[in-house]
Structure 1
Amino acid sequence: MEKRIKKHSANMLRKLAAGGMSLLTAGLLLTGCGNGEPETQTEATYASFEETVTGLPVTVKGEDGNEAPLQLNVWYFDEAAGPYYEAAAAEFHDRYGVEVVCTRKDEVNYLEDINKANQSGSGPDVLIASNDEIRKLHLAGLIQENTLYTEEFWKSHYPEVTWNANRSDEKQYGYPIYMDTCLMIYDSTITTKPESFGSITDFAVNFVDETNTKTIFKWDIADPFCDYLFLGKNAQILGTYGEDTDTFEINNESVVQNMTYYQSLHEYFSMDADSSSYDSIKGALKDGTLVYGIVKTDVLGELSSYGTTYALCPVPDLSAELGVQNLSVTYSAFVNPFTKTSEYANLFSAFLSYEYAGNQFGISRKVAVRSDIDRSDANDALAYEQYCNTVSLPKALENGDFWIYSEICFKNIWNGNDVATELNALQEKMDARLK
């Protein structure tokens, strides 16, 4: 399976819980950035972004005294996104004469490695990171604000969820590139698009598996990124921008009803939270034995390799009365404050985010978050539509504890514990953590 998709769910628990504060302690905090009065801005267009590099040299003097091409260094961790960065780098070089070197790094120690490289003077000019890392990154002085996009530009070319994902402390960080979220997949040769989770349970009751090979429904029940959607639309998790520690309510009656429905699914679908994995779902898709599943956007590049004809649709509501609320994660290019080529670093970030975005799905099967591009592929359009109806991953520093506590809560509810008691326990733990 695609590495970043799996790793984000698996690694965010230990990254956020274990590594968050150490990075802030080690980071070299910047001072005096963004504290001045805002400048009067003309209308933002990509042409106006290009004007920021007008007249700037595209060569630098090397240690030997000879001129060498100006070089931007870009770090990323998602192998599947690499072809897009490389193609964009080649096009950028053709247009502007600036070499862009894209380097894939290990995800587990990614932020710590950036901080160490900055201290040794070898840090990247641009780094790719997910929106849940933004608060940690900017507090550690590892990213700059987005200096090119005006609010009007943001809202004209990106959906609201992207604006929210990239906002921290009333400022916008990063140049958004692509996203991930959950989708429903189903075997279109034996069933139809589910109108609700009730459609799936009805199918489970009535379906006769003559081959005795089919699994009716699976999702990675051990992954809180997938489980989150069952909380519904009335869970209040750290506010609109994911960092309001005064906003946390997960034990109201609406959430209790949703999670009671979640628990009832155990009667139909026997899944073990201790042995559940996304890999097992992907395996069933490749074998063609899964009828319904909750998947992530990595499947967009794999549908043709699956063992039957699968179709995608948005994750449906649980019932007419009980809705779902999908999560999303947004990946962006961030300019390192320690870059010596800030203008070109910002321009290349905007190039990835805006100018070259229409090529992204065709190259990498990643879903670009720019709103006003042609989406000729129906699944690209479907995934983008689903993204627009999501909430973004929280970015508060206490976020890591929430994922750890919620994973335990979901597991206990699935295994039959009292729903209200488990949600109250989660609320109490987070109330104490957020004080």
Structure 2
Amino acid sequence: MRWYKEKGLSALLVFFMSVLLVFLSVTRPGNDEGGYGGIFGKRYDESLVLWYADEALTGYLTSQAVAYQEKYKVKIEPVLVSGLEYLEQINRESVDGAKAPDVYIVNNGNLEKAYLSGLAVKAADAEGILNSDHFPKAALDAVSFQGENVAYPLYYETAFLLFNKTYIREMARDRIQAEADAAEGEAAQAAADAAGDAALMEADEGDMPDNTVSDSVDREIPEEEVTQRMNELIPSSLDDILTFAVEYNAPENVEAVFKWDVSDIFYNYFMVGNYISIGSDAGDDETVMDIYNENALKCLTVYQELNQFFSIDSKEVSYQSIVDEFLEGKTVFTIATTDIFEKLAMAEASGNFPYEYGVAALPDVSAELKSRGCSVTNCVAVNGYSQKKEEAEKFASYLVTDGVENLYSLSGKIASRYGVAYQEPEIGNAMLEYEKSVPVPKMMSAQNFWVKLEIVFTKIWNGSDVSETLQELAL
């Protein structure tokens, strides 16, 4: 966790002085070929400009700039820029400007455009990190273009099943207790019946005994037994969720067993992700466009039928409303993305989320139809126009390996690299979904595909003919 308490005036003074030193060290201009930096005029052997467009990364990138400077004597200048026309800005500065980035952070969906524009180059990978020992296949596919690695995977976003573990635990305990009570009642009844038979045989010798069954007594249930039952209750398919909804004795606060943002393709894609392909797994093959097929139609038919059960208004729902309702304990299951972990941590720290939560695999569409989510991988790319490519490559490699240990604590982002330790174990379960996800395609010809697919899902959810609507997208 990254929540700290104040420890007195002296600690505050030390903190602010540290921030001042970091600020001056990172932002003071120096010679482009090396120069001086920091308030003590320390000489750096080299300098690099790093561009990024997500403000949440500022603290993390600043800390890594300082760490890299201290270790390798190379000045790193992080520059926050607008995400609008991001690559266009990089191109303009590279051709005409004086502050073009040597290295920059970009999502994998823009890598084809970056590479073909000369703004990204084949990754040298001198450290030999771009392999399955360090990254899952989804990350490697995300940074691959035409069989070549053209960036380094830094952090990811993907979808998974998020559930209220407190509710599941209560249901597990209730079921175990109910089963124990039933078994005890049957045993007591059998004993009573046997006693009654014996009493009839001895009726002439005295009064008949009372046939009583003792009241059930709550027993202490071993935690291992509760955990096993909880695992059995976590749904592996949409059919399991429907069964859960029918059988669940919901607390008064619960308004929905399963609710998700049906208006956003990122939370819907798992329904068809295993059966459609845009550009193959790497998202860069123009010859692969498989959308209209039998399994995709079956999946979307199931998706449409869900509206009859869950009745979610696609015009009213939003991801923010889904998150708010989950934090308020109003839903048991939802589809969330990796940004939820920081939101949950903040709610827990402020006392606004008095529950436990869990992360599980996205539910399969049915026993026969499997699910597969999509992912966005944010990467570190080296500018093809940079005069310092070799040093930029070294920094890019550092940033996605040694540099990711405090990525989550300083930015809320989840590293693409294997082996990063988190205090919250559920984050590791999100990685399992990332491993099998399909990266968003990087083909420029598919840039409008996600918008069109989102429209298809909305139409089908609201009752449009499944076959006709999907065929419109395939044309």
Among candidates 88, 97, 112, match of residue 120 of structure 1:
97
Quote the residue 2:73 is aligned against: 97
The residue that corresponds to 1:386 in the other structure is 433
Instruction: Tell me which of 122, 138, 145 is aligned to 1:145.
Output: 122
Gaps of 5+ in 1: 1-56, 429-435
1:287 has 2:296 as partner: no
Q: Which runs of 5+ in 2 are unaligned?
A: 1-31, 169-232
The aligned length equals 369
**1:222 maps to which residue?**
263
- Distance in 1 (CA, whole Å) between partners of 2:129 and 2:123 is 13
Equivalent position of 1:165 in the other structure = 142
TM-score when scaled to structure 1? Answer: 0.79
Structure 1 counterpart of 2:292, from 242, 251, 257:
251
Alignment partners' CA distance in 2, 1:291 and 1:76: 36
SS in 1 for 2:407: helix
Q: CA deviation at 1:416?
A: 1.1
Identity over the aligned pairs, expressed in percent? 30
Q: Is the 8 A contact 2:152 2:397 kept in 1?
A: yes
Q: Give the letter for the 1:293 counterpart.
A: T
Q: CA deviation at 1:373?
A: 4.2
Aligned Cα root-mean-square deviation (Å): 2.4
Shift of 1:258: 0.9
Cα deviation for residue 102 of structure 1 reads 1.5
- 2 CA distance for matches of 1:153 and 1:123? 26
Instruction: Give 1:343's aligned residue.
Output: 390
Question: What does 1:66-215 correspond to in 2, within 5 Å?
Answer: 69=44, 70-118=46-94, 119-149=96-126, 153-191=130-168, 192-209=233-250, 211=252, 214-215=255-256
Match for residue 395 of structure 1 among 442, 449, 453: 442
**Distance in 1, Cα, partners of 2:336 & 2:258:** 11
C-alpha distance in 2 between matches for 1:137 and 1:269: 42
Contact 2:65–2:76 (CA<8 Å) still a contact in 1? yes
Q: Is the 8 A contact 1:138 1:144 kept in 2?
A: yes
Displacement of 1:302 in angstroms is: 2.3
Partners of 1:232 and 1:67 lie apart in 2 by: 52
1-structure distance, mates of 2:428, 2:403: 17
Larger Rg: 2
* Contact 1:361–1:380 (Cα < 8 Å) also in 2: no
* Displacement of 1:67: 9.5
Structure 2 residue matching 1:75: 3-state secondary structure: strand
Report the CA distance between 1:251 and its aligned residue: 1.5
Query: 1:331: how far off?
Result: 0.9
Q: Which amino acid aligns with 1:421?
A: E
Compute the displacement of 1:88 (Å).
Answer: 1.4
Q: Describe the shift of the 1:127–1:284 C-alpha distance in structure 2 as closer, same or farther (beyond 3 A).
A: same
CA distance in 1 between counterparts of 2:419 and 2:249 reads: 45
- Aligned residue number for residue 46 of structure 1: none
Equivalent position of 1:323 in the other structure: 370
1:240 partnered with 2:240 = no
Q: Cα offset for 1:152?
A: 7.5
Provide closer, same or farther for how the CA distance between residues 367 and 212 of structure 1 changes in structure 2, counting only shifts above 3 A: closer
Structure 1 residue 372 displacement after superposition: 4.1
Aligned to 2:460: 413
> Does the 8 Å CA contact 1:204/1:268 hold for their aligned counterparts?
no
Q: For residues 68 and 232 of structure 1, do their structure 2 counterparts lie closer, same or farther at Cα, with a shift above 3 Å needed?
A: closer
